[in-house]
A and B are shown apart, each in its own frame.
Chain A
Amino acid sequence: GAGVSQSPRYKVAKRGQDVALRCDPISGHVSLFWYQQALGQGPEFLTYFQNEAQLDKSGLPSDRFFAERPEGSVSTLKIQRTQQEDSAVYLCASSLGLLAGVRGETQYFGPGTRLLVL
């Protein structure tokens, strides 16, 4: 596809359940990002991959959050033992990232997954 895709678009989970959110970046994009957007706020950074390497996970709010990108393309964000405060929109973005350490590239965002934890 031409853009970043995410699935599912909506997810309702009971408190304590594990969830897995999927991101398909733009084909050929090396860099992949996850952001969390709470209601009424701007997105906040969670984690960053360059190919399959997770170079920055400093934004993950707790050890219940785990992300992977094993083959350098599709990425999965997993949240274990979900809590109500995890309710948010989870956004995935990708950029070309052709060179390690390249700075200042346009990031393209997917439609997001709306997670509601009851």
Chain B
Amino acid sequence: GIQVEQSPPDLILQEGANSTLRCNFSDSVNNLQWFHQNPWGQLINLFYIPSGTKQNGRLSATTVATERYSLLYISSSQTTDSGVYFCAVERYETSGSRLTFGEGTQLTVNP
């Protein structure tokens, strides 16, 4: 099946700093989503981005499908950004309708 690798595994920032999270995947995909898992375990949709660039407030994401990676940018980080960020992909032809998740990036933003 498709492999998903996220980096870095852990990231500690001071409030106000910017960061870039990376997601590499091993094959072409039909779907790529970025999630934020809050301390209560809820997976919050950030972006549906199988290709291209999107922005939502302080967050933006870029997926370069031909090179099989996606980047999540967080600008002017806030303590509420803390949590685990997951990248998940779907490749219907080989895995059916399922998301395959990476191991996540644990982000801690200190005041």
Contact = CB atoms under 8 A, between A and B. Distances in A.
A53 to B, nearest CB: 12
A50 B92 CA distance: 14
Given A31-B97, A45-B98, 16 more contacts: A37-B41, A42-B88, A42-B102, A42-B104, A43-B43, A45-B100, A50-B97, A56-B97, A91-B43, A103-B92, A104-B50, A104-B92, A106-B31, A111-B41, A112-B42, A114-B41
Interface of B: 4, 30-31, 33, 35, 40-43, 45, 48, 50, 86, 88, 90, 92, 96-104
Contacts of B35: 109
Contacts of A31: 97
B98 A108 contact: no
Nearest to A114: B41
Given A111-B42, A112-B42, A103 B98 contact: no
